[in-house]
Amino acid sequence: MKTLLEKDELLKAVQGKEIGCGNAECFFCDVQTDSRNISQDLKAMFVPLLGEFQDGHKFIPSVLEKKPGVILLNESEYQKKSDFYDELAEKNKTVCFVKVENTLHALQAAAKAYVEKKCSSMIKVSITGSSGKTTTKEMLVSICKEYFGEENVAYTKGNFNSETGLPLSVFKINGNEKIGIFEMGMNRFGEIEEISEVWKSKYGIITNIGTAHIGILKTRENIAREKRHSFDFIPQDGAAFVPADDDFADFCLENVKGEKIKFGKNVDTLRSGVEFGKNLGLFGTEFFVDGLKIHLSLSGEYNYQNALGVVALAKKLGIDAVSIKNGLENVCSVGGRMEILKTELKNQKNCVLIKDCYNANLDSMLKVLDFCQNLDKKSYGKKIFVLADMKELGDESEKSHKAVGEKINSISPDFVFLIGKEMKACYDVIKNTENVLLFDESSPENFEIIGEKILEKVNGNEIVLLKGSHSMELDKLIPYFVLLKNEGEIQ
């Protein structure tokens, strides 16, 4: 097994200086920022990060017990405790201690050097957007596995798409893959720009410009300005893909050097090669690519929209319609994102459970409510919504939660449970509050009440929607009304 970067490559990339004797080997085949994830069986480079509530440097002594290969540390930390770190370096002569100006930036710089070293012949793809990133990635990954072979596709695992997540993800590339598909997320100004410089994609998709993180970035234009940084390094022979009906589509494409491609249900079939078939409601969408019928099982018009972006990119790569069909038809819902389950309840009745509680912002909330509104009333019973706070909306929170209330007024569901202090703004604008209950927090006590109420109201084949930000923990409500298997799985 080879080291991910040689010592001279690492020191040059991070602009670091070794402390101690200078004779340490500098061998590492894993990179971690969480000391708990370091394995004694796998030589690691530990990158301690300085957060709002935690300083990773304090874990260096415990990390040394696991025999890492490299440890980075901030110059400022070293200056404060130089004797301490010099002594550690002296006692651990096989470990390469490297001081850098900023460990986060050093992690990104090391990842950039690794990508340049290992991925020069790889097709590099980035995916970002206010919502739908992970589902879009899973669709493209599934298609590419069909076409290139499973072992030839590198991609973001889980939700590792941030300022630290993307660098950690790219270190998992072995360099033999033919294509790499990586998500880019953000929680602050400048984050997409930083990680775009690490990956430097040749092809990129922006799924949409919505209101996720508007509490931090303040306006959709600022969000679009940040997201379009994912296109910064697309070369002339690359391409950028944006939804045609997004009002920021042209703005996102302004500085793109490569081909500019718009996708969407209103794009002409002659141009896209895609023809809409029919909306199958809970069972997804039927459509045609180059005349070949495809059944996308993921429900909702927005999932179809994301699939159109994936199809556009796949066709640009020369992937055939059969691989596109097989890939899309093999995709199922990502955990917590628009999972639709025919579910047996504790009262021996059945319902259709729509579990969409991985994250929530105004765009995704309105989309799933639209989806529920458009379901065939003859086929399903009552519509029961459990909606929890949408987080990270900042000054836009009250306005956004009121907008959800207005949407509920237009839908008139049979019953609504609202959970969280921010949902009070939603409750205040709902007209028929007799069918609405407001709870101030996610708690076992409140979940028990809600679960009992759901069981009272479900007679069979009702729609029960769970939607809210991940931190509201709506998934913990499920055992209060759903009949679970012994291992906790939904029946």
One digit per residue, pLDDT tens: the chain, 491 residues? Answer: 899 999 999 999 999 999 987 788 999 999 999 999 998 888 999 999 988 778 999 999 999 999 999 999 999 999 999 999 999 999 999 999 999 999 999 999 999 999 999 999 999 999 999 888 999 999 999 999 999 999 999 999 877 888 899 999 999 999 999 999 999 998 888 899 999 999 999 999 999 998 776 777 789 999 999 999 999 999 999 999 999 999 999 999 999 999 999 999 999 999 999 999 999 888 899 999 999 999 999 988 889 999 999 999 999 999 999 999 999 999 876 666 788 888 999 999 999 999 998 888 898 899 899 988 888 777 788 899 999 999 988 888 999 999 999 999 998 899 999 999 999 999 999 987 889 999 999 999 999 999 999 999 998 889 999 999 999 999 999 999 998 864 445 54
* C-alpha to C-alpha distance for 221 and 279, rounded to whole angstroms: 32
* Residue 72 falls in which region: left (phi positive, over 0), alpha (psi -120 to 50) or beta: beta
* C-alpha to C-alpha distance for 137 and 184, rounded to whole angstroms: 10
Burial string for 444-463 (b: 16+ CB within 10 Å, else e) reads eebbeebbebbbebbeeebb
Question: What is the pLDDT, as a whole number, of residue 359?
Answer: 83
* C-alpha to C-alpha distance for 423 and 129, rounded to whole angstroms: 25
Max intra-chain CA distance, the chain: 77
Triad 476, 486, 469: Cα angle to 5°: 15
Q: Are 171 and 139 in contact, with CB atoms under 8 Å apart? A: no
Q: What is the token pair recorded at 109?
A: 């710089």
Question: What is the pLDDT, as a whole number, of residue 315?
Answer: 98
Triad 350, 355, 357: Cα angle to 5°: 150
Strands 44-46 and 123-128: unpaired
Distances (CA, A) of 195 to 155, 177, 237: 15, 20, 21
Sheet containing 123-128: order of strands: 153-155, 179-183, 123-128, 203-206, 239-243, 259-263
* C-alpha to C-alpha distance for 125 and 136, rounded to whole angstroms: 12
Question: What is the pLDDT, as a whole number, of residue 80?
Answer: 94
Three-state SS for 206? Answer: strand
Question: What is the pLDDT, as a whole number, of residue 488?
Answer: 46
Three-state SS for 61? Answer: helix
